[in-house]
Structure 1
Amino acid sequence: MNCEMCGVSSDKLIKVKISGAILNVCPQCAKFGEPVEEKKLNKISENVTIKFPEKKINVVTYKKPFKKPVTTKKPVHRENVEELDVVEDYADLIKAKREEMNMTQDELAKKIFERKNVLSNIERGELLPDIATARKLEKVLNIKLLEKNE
C-alpha cells in the first residue's frame, strides 16, 4: 500500500489524524499527526447520530391591493389659452443676470434642477429653453423671459 501523504510504498501503514483528516501514512510521515486507534474510530462512528431540526413553514398569503379603475383625462379644449414665446435675447439676459448675482453655471443649474450642459447651451443661444425651464429661470433670476404670442 502507498502512504497517503508522501506516496511511498510501505507494508506497515499507520492511521494518523493530520489537520482533522484521518490518513494512512508511513512511519516517517506519522510524526506529523496524532495516532488514531482503530477502536476509537469505530466507537465514534457508532455514537454519531445526525438530527435535523423540524422546520415549520410559515405560509403567507398575499392579497392584491385594491386597484382603482384607470381613468384617462379628457382633453380640455381651452379657447383662451395663452401661447407663450421666449424673448429673442434670452441668452444674453440669462448670462448677464447670473453674472450680476455672482453665480456659477453649476450653482444656477442646481437651483433650477437642470444639467450644467443644458444651461451653458441656453446661455450660448444654441438651445431654446422650454416653457418650464424658462419659468424656473425667471423665478430664480427675477427676470422676464416669456412673452405672449400674438
Structure 2
Amino acid sequence: MNCELCGKVMDRYHEVIIDGVTMKVCHDCAKYGKEVTRKPLTVQREQTPHPLQPRNFVHVSPPPPPRRRTSDDVDDADEPIVDFGKVIKKRREEMGLSQEELANKLQEKKNVVAKIEREEIKPDKQTARKIEKVMGVRILEKVQ
C-alpha cells in the first residue's frame, strides 16, 4: 500500500485527518494530521414490545366523498348578451370611470377590460357577474 500523502510504500498505515480529509499515510506523514480513533461498533437489538403493552397503530381516514357539482359547474346556460362590449363601455362612461378605474373596481387588469369592451374576448361567468354587480347592468342571459 502507498502513502496517500507522499506516495511511499508502507506495510502499516496510520489513518489521520489532514485539512478535514481522512487519509491513510505512512508513519512520517502522520505527524501532519490528527490520528483518527475508531470506536468499536455496537449492534443494538430491537426491543420487542411487551405482550401486554398497547401497540401504536396509524389511523387511516377514508377518502373524502366526491365533490358535488355547484351551480356554476352545471349551469352553462348563461351567455353574454349580443353587444355586451358596447353596453359595458356606455355604462362605464356614464359612471365617469376610466378603463383603469373600472379594472381596479373589478380586480382585473386594464387590458382585460379593454378587450371585453372591444369584444375581443368574452368575460367568464365570474368576471361577468362582477361587472353586473359593480356597474348595475345585465350582460348575462339564459340560453336554452
Q: Structure 2 length as normaliser, TM-score?
A: 0.50
Instruction: Mark the structure with the bigger radius of gyration.
Output: 1
